[in-house]
Structure formats: C-alpha cells, structure tokens
Structure 1
Amino acid sequence: DIRSDIRDMRTDFKGVKDGMDFINLEFEDIKKKLETVLKENSELKRENGALSRKCEEMEKRLSDCQDRLTEAEQYSRNVNLEIKGVLRNDNEDLTDVIAKLGESIGEPIVRADVALCHRVPTRDSGKSNIIVQFVSRSKRDAVLVKARK
C-alpha cells in the first residue's frame, strides 16, 4: 500500500516535473520573443525619431519654398497694373486701348512698353478688368502717377 502510494507520488512528481519543464521551455520561448520584440520596438522608435526629424526638416523647407514663391509672385507683379471700367469692344486690340488710355492721361504708352495685356473676369458678370504687364516698373509707376492726377 505504501509502495503504491510512493509509486503514485513518483508518477505525480514526474507529471509535475514534466509540466514544470514544459512551462520552463514555454517561459524561455516567451522570454526570447519578448527580447526580440523589445529590440524591434527600440529600433522602430529610433527610426521613428529619425523620420520625425526628417519630416520636420522637410516641412520647414516646404514653408521656406512657399515663402520664396510668394515673394517671387509678388515681385513679378510689381510691373502689373489693373485697369477697371474700360468697356469691352468686339475685336479690340488691348495694346491700342492701353495706348489710347496713355494719351488720355498724358503718359504715352507704346507697344514696346507693354510686355503683355489681357482681360480678367470679375464677379460682376459682363465686366472684365484689363491687366497690363509693363516691361519696366518705372513705366508702370509713371502711368500710375499720371492716372491718379
């Protein structure tokens, strides 16, 4: 009876030992996986930090480029003049219209003074303003001074 109890205890003990060995193996496997995940997480954090810095740098460069573009657009418009209230005629030659306006304000405008001119639509349907791009800013300023008098 005692022998059978000892045998049963040995069997139980072996079962417990086998279970402990299995749990230990599983624990070691989980431990290795955790170490791998922690290492990968650390690498991803480092990469994320580098990408964040690069993104911030790119955003700053984009902002600088947008500022420079805005400045360039404003500078390119410093030779432009918008003329309002000139009635549209069929088959009009805007350069001739501009020349006649120049005569009427006392500031002659020849074709060589005008780089380009065109009409632009306005919110008020049926009306359109004239945009004149002069070859030089000084000519635009001279026309503007005479027009304001």
Structure 2
Amino acid sequence: MFTCARCNNNVSDGVTCSGCRRQFDFSCAGISEINFRKLGERRNNWRCSDCKGVSTPVTRDTNASLQSQIEEMKASLAFITRQLTPLATLVEDVKTIKADLAHLKDSTEMAHESVRQLSDSVKSIDDRVSCLEESQNSVSKIRDTLTMIQDDLRIKEQLARSNNIEIKGVPFKKSENLYNLVYKIGEVVQTPIRKEDINYIARVPSPQGDSQKNIIVALHNRYTKEEFIAAARKHKGLQLSGLGFSSDLKYFINDHLTLHNKSLLKEAKRLASDNNFRYVWVKHCQILVRKSDTSPIIRIKNENDLQKISREKD
C-alpha cells in the first residue's frame, strides 16, 4: 500500500516516477495498467508529467537507453505487423470467441440461477436445522420433566407400600389362613402381629412368573411394620419348619419394594460385589450401600446413583 502523490488516496498498485521517485496510481499517472505492463523494461524509465517538462542532460547512458527503447519499439512494430497479416482469420476467430462468450454468458447466468436456488435450499435447510435444534432443546426439557415426574411417581408408588411387608418362600397350602401364618411368624421373631394391625393380606403373583406367590401384608401402622422387619432380620435363617412345614428351607421377610426398586436392588448388589462393597441393605424402603465400616453410605434412588458404586474409592 502507498499514498498517491497527486490525489493522496491509499492504493495497492501504481507507478513510480524514475525522475522524482514519487508514486502515483494509474489514473493520476495518465496511463492504464495494461499499457504500463506492456512497457516491459521501459517501466523503469517512466516519468511523471512534471518531470517530463524538465529537460534532462543527455548522457551516454541516456543515449543507450533511448537506443534500447527504439530497438524494442521496432521489435514491437515488427511483431504487430506479423500479427496483422492473418487479420481475416483473426476476425473469424473473434466472431467465434464472441459466440463462445455469449454461450458462456448464458451458462454463467444458468449457473448463477443454480447457485441462487442452492443458496435458497441451504437457507431452508439452515432454518429447518434451527427448528430441529429448538425442538431438540424442547425435547430435552420435556425428557427432563418426564424424568422428574417418573421419579416422583416412583417415590409415591414406594411410599404407598411403606406399611407393607413382603414374605417370600412360604409354600401355598389349601385352606391356608394367612392371618394365622403371620401371627406364627410374629411369635417366631418375638414381635406379635394382631389381626387388627393388618389392613389386608394376600398372595400376589411373582413378576418372574414363579408358581409360588409371595405374601403381602399391609399394616395400619408403619412403626409396627418397621419393628416387625427389624425383629425378623435379627432372627437370621428363618426356616419353614418353625411354621409347621416339613421342610428346613428358609423364608424371607422384607420391605415391599416396587418392581423398579427391586431391579435397582439387584443391580446394586451386582455392582457392589464387583467393586468390593461390604454392605447392601434396605431400610425404610430405601436401598443403601456402603463399601466399608468407615465409608459414607450411598442411597440408590435411580439408575444414575448406581454409577456412584463404580466411582467410590477406598
């Protein structure tokens, strides 16, 4: 970039006077860029209009330069003469070029139209992508909301079972009296359950389709339920023979977990075993894990909490 000595505009290309060494753009220099390029080595001797008006002493170098310029002009004239010889053919070539240019112009206009259509298509796609991104954000928010609702429903579903006891492993007998059965279990664990303490009692099908149905006991009072389960856990190895069955198989008394929490408990036990956790238990219908006696207790509420088992360090 330089500043033209005549118009003071900043330009990126122009000419330099060999006399005063000032720089001009082509317009202020009075010469077109094409003609300036045609000067060849004579460009080094170009002078501005101001310097042309000043007479320069003729020296031997000047004469030599003039002689060189004359020779170049002669060579240029000879070349032009040779080029003008096949003028007729050249005219035909020019016509052909014009026709080609017209065709090229049509092709260019078609290309411009195609580019315009493509640009419109790209803009339409951009608009759709923007809409999709907005929809994706909305879907993400809806998914988060649904997750919150689902977690809330699961909490409420488990809360509805907070007074329930699940008894697993007791074989079915015809004409069985489940009230008497629960009463016997209460005597075994030394925490009696009266009939008036029970809201309802029934056998329910197993989600795995087992032929043996578990017994669900819904109590009126949660504290009675917690005392009963705590007492049952103190009596490890409860056997059916203590209930009048001719079998030494064990039966189990637990909180009545939802299907989702049962699945979480199963996965928590697997991960705890893989990561050397010592404790996995359920208290007040909450799944709890602990790696050691001094480690913090981790509550497992959903699938994301299961990752805490893998991340827990000693």
For residues 29-108 of structure 1, the aligned pairs below 5 Å read 29-84=113-168, 86-102=170-186, 105=190, 107-108=192-193
Secondary structure class of the residue paired with 1:116: strand
Classify 1:145/1:102 alpha carbon distance in 2 versus 1 (closer, same or farther; 3 Å): same
Percent identity over paired residues: 18
Classify 1:42/1:86 alpha carbon distance in 2 versus 1 (closer, same or farther; 3 Å): closer
Separation in structure 1 between the aligned mates of residue 151 and residue 207 of structure 2, nearest angstrom: 27
Kept in 2: contact 1:120–1:130 (CA 8 A): no
Which letter maps to 1:91?
S
Classify 1:126/1:52 alpha carbon distance in 2 versus 1 (closer, same or farther; 3 Å): closer
Secondary structure class of the residue paired with 1:77: coil
- Name the count of aligned residue pairs: 147
Separation in structure 2 between the aligned mates of residue 122 and residue 50 of structure 1, nearest angstrom: 41
> Whose Rg is larger?
2
Q: Deviations over 1:8-39 (max 9, x none)?
A: 33540332122122222212212211220221
CA deviation after TM superposition for structure 1 residue 119, in Å: 4.9
Separation in structure 2 between the aligned mates of residue 145 and residue 13 of structure 1, nearest angstrom: 102
Question: What TM-score, normalized to structure 2?
Answer: 0.39
Q: Which has the higher helix share?
A: 1
User: Which one has more relative contact order, counting CA pairs under 8 Å at least 6 apart?
Assistant: 1
Separation in structure 2 between the aligned mates of residue 122 and residue 32 of structure 1, nearest angstrom: 63
Which letter maps to 2:96?
D
Aligned-residue RMSD, C-alpha: 3.3
Structure 2 counterpart of 1:118: 203
Secondary structure class of the residue paired with 1:78: coil
Structure 1: stretches of 5+ with no match in the other structure: none
Secondary structure class of the residue paired with 1:107: coil
Structure 2 counterpart of 1:17: 101
Secondary structure class of the residue paired with 2:202: strand
Structure 2 counterpart of 1:136, from 207, 217, 221: 221
Structure 2: stretches of 5+ with no match in the other structure: 1-85, 236-314
Kept in 1: contact 2:204–2:213 (CA 8 A): yes
Structure 1 counterpart of 2:194: 109
Separation in structure 2 between the aligned mates of residue 111 and residue 142 of structure 1, nearest angstrom: 16
Q: Deviations over 1:101-147 (max 9, x none)?
A: 45674635226722232155599x77654221123324424544665
Separation in structure 2 between the aligned mates of residue 78 and residue 18 of structure 1, nearest angstrom: 88
Kept in 2: contact 1:103–1:109 (CA 8 A): no
Separation in structure 1 between the aligned mates of residue 122 and residue 230 of structure 2, nearest angstrom: 73
